[in-house]
Every structure is written in structure tokens, then in C-alpha cells.
Homo-oligomer: A and B are copies of this chain.
Amino acid sequence: MSLKNDLLLKALKGEEMSRPPVWMMRQAGRYLPDYIKLRNKYDFFTRVQTPELACEITLHPVDQVGVDAAIIFSDILVVPQAMGMTVLMEEGKGPLLPEVVKNQADIDALITDGVEENLSYVTAALSLTKKELNDRVPLIGFAGAPFTLLCYMVEGKGSKTFDKAKQFCFTQPALAHSLLQKITDVTITYLKAQIKAGADVVQVFDSWSGMLSPADFRTYAQPYLTQIAQAVSPYAPVILFPKGSWYALPDLSKSGAAGIGIDWTITPALARQMAGSNITLQGNFDPCKLLTSPAQIRKDVHDMIDAFGVNRYIANLGHGIMPNVPVDHARAFVDAVKEYTIK
């Protein structure tokens, strides 16, 4: 079957476009009243692990906001969980991993076999969503990047600095690399399974890579992002989103990924200059700008597309949409991209 709306895939292939595709990170989330209803009824892991619920949540923004792609409702921490770690998720409080990785024995104890089976609820959710989407728009699968997962697995929770995780890397680099490789291997298997189950595109979120210097990014993040991009790209286009790591654009543009996400701290012109012309850029609307007004959003979105151009570009935010964004502002963002015409 062919997709009725394949703008995302065309943008990732570098085809000639009349307008860019648009979706929003965290588009299936707390700014949507229907999501809040389900959140009040089912706890986090019930929503993530019940394919019918994950599917319903994934479809909300497609039906209600009109995005050009669906992204499966899930969480990056399902991978550490599938590798045997306890992950607690308190609503509004962020994740907690009570038993962190400290030494080689902890790394050896991590499960790498059978991760596909452990995460079969994700692939089931993808298959169901793919069917329910009925080829209206492409379906995006995702995973956390190895460095970002290491941050949680070593630090045990969110942090302003992730200093324990970075200390682990800087003082025990061999251990860090063995953990990063283990996560990478699992992630490659997991992303391939997601594609097999129906994901048309996959995105890798390196949410904390921007806490690394360019040299440390090249040591602890980039090799694993590149391994994933190269192993998975033969099956589906890969988008890498190393938040804050603008400095890595030249290197990552040669990683084999089809797209790179960027945040709003870099101008479209400089990002394009650094990334070259053979990769698709995704981003980079400041999510706080969704708090302005539909008219202002429309103007700012058109300025953003003017700056990026319509080819090799996916309109998106530079970070996840916030819970306090009015739904009609999210819709204004999407509509502004859809109504854009080349000048």
C-alpha cells in the first residue's frame, strides 16, 4: 500500500517539495485534553504497554491537529527496562531508576537477548497504529540514543548536569564504552523490529548530548549514533536528534542518517552551512513561541520556512511541545506550514 501523505518520506529522500512536512515532538501529549483523560484513567506504563491505548494516543494529533506524521506513543526508558532495570515513573515527577549501573558486574547483568520479546508491546502498538492510520500519514518509531540512556542508567534520574553519568564516562571510559555498545546493540535490534512492525521512519533522541563538549560528544555519543544510523538506514530513514549538539552537524551529516533535528539556538542558515546539502534538517521552532498567538505563530513559522527553504526540511519544534500550549496554537503551527507557498 502506498501512503496518501508521504511528504515526510519525500523530504527525507531530498525530493523536490512544494512545502515541508510538519510534525511536533511530544505531539501526543499533555496539551491535548483527550490525552489528559487517558492519563487520569491509566498510569504511565499502562498507557505505554497497552497497544490499544498507545495507538489511540498516537492517533490524537493526527486526527485533531492534522500533523503529517504520527509518532508512536512510548518512552525512551522502555529500553533500560527491557534490559532488566527497574524504571519508576511518577506522574509529573520524571523517571526514577532506583538501582543504577555502577560497575562491570552491573553491565554484565543487563539483558541483551530477547529484547524484541520484552518490547513486543511496542511493536504490537506500531502494527495496530499502522493499521488504524490506514496509510493516511507515515508512522515514526523511536529510541533514546545510547549516551542519553547511559545518563539515566548511571544517574538514576533526571539532572541539571548529569554529573554522575559524566563522571562515570570520564573516569571509567572502558566501562562507559562497554555500556554504550550494549545499549547500541539492543537499540539497533529494537529499531529494526519497530520498522518490521510498521514504522516508516525512526528517530533517535539524544536529549542530553548537548551537555558534552565537542570532543566528548565525538567520544561518547557520535560513534554510537553513527553505528545506529548505518545499521538501521538500509531498512528505513533515520533522523538523529542530538539536542544542543549543533557543533556535531558536520560529522553527523556523514553518519548515514537521512535527517538531523536541531534546536532553536542555531540559525537555519548556519545549520545548513554546517550540515551541507545532502541531509534533511528538522526543527527548530522555539516551543515557547507556541504560547504567543495564532497570528504570531503563523508569521514566525513562515519566517522559519523562508529561512530553511522547502527542500530537505521538516518543520518541527526544537524540543517537545509543552503541556500549557493551547490546542488551537498547536493547530496554528501545523496549519501555517500547510498553507506555506513558495515565494
Contacts and interface: CB of A to CB of B under 8 A. Distances in A.
Interface of A: 161-163, 166-167, 170-171, 210, 212-216, 244-245, 247, 264-267, 270, 286-289, 291-293, 296, 322, 324
A222 to B, nearest CB: 14
A216 B286 contact: yes
A161 to B, nearest CB: 7
B170 A213 contact: no
A212 B267 CA distance: 11
Nearest to A307: B215
A324 B216 CA distance: 21
Contacts of A265: 210, 212-214, 244-245, 247
B292 A167 contact: yes
Contact of A322 (B163, B171, B213, B245): B163
One complex includes copies of this chain to the number of 2
A245 B267 CA distance: 12
Nearest to A270: B247
A324 B267 contact: no
Nearest to A320: B161
B266 A161 contact: no
A293 B170 CA distance: 10
A166 B213 contact: no
A247 B212 CA distance: 17
28 contacts: A161-B288, A163-B287, A163-B291, A163-B322, A163-B324, A166-B286, A166-B288, A167-B288, A167-B292, A170-B288, A170-B289, A170-B291, A170-B292, A170-B296, A171-B291, A171-B292, A171-B296, A212-B265, A213-B264, A213-B267, A213-B286, A214-B265, A215-B267, A245-B265, A247-B265, A247-B266, A247-B267, A247-B270
Given A167-B288, A213-B286, 19 more contacts: A161-B288, A163-B287, A167-B292, A170-B288, A170-B289, A170-B291, A170-B292, A171-B291, A171-B292, A171-B293, A171-B296, A210-B265, A213-B265, A214-B265, A214-B267, A216-B286, A245-B265, A247-B266, A247-B267
Q: Which 7 A-B pairs have the closest CB atoms?
A: A166-B288, A167-B291, A213-B264, A163-B288, A170-B292, A214-B267, A171-B292
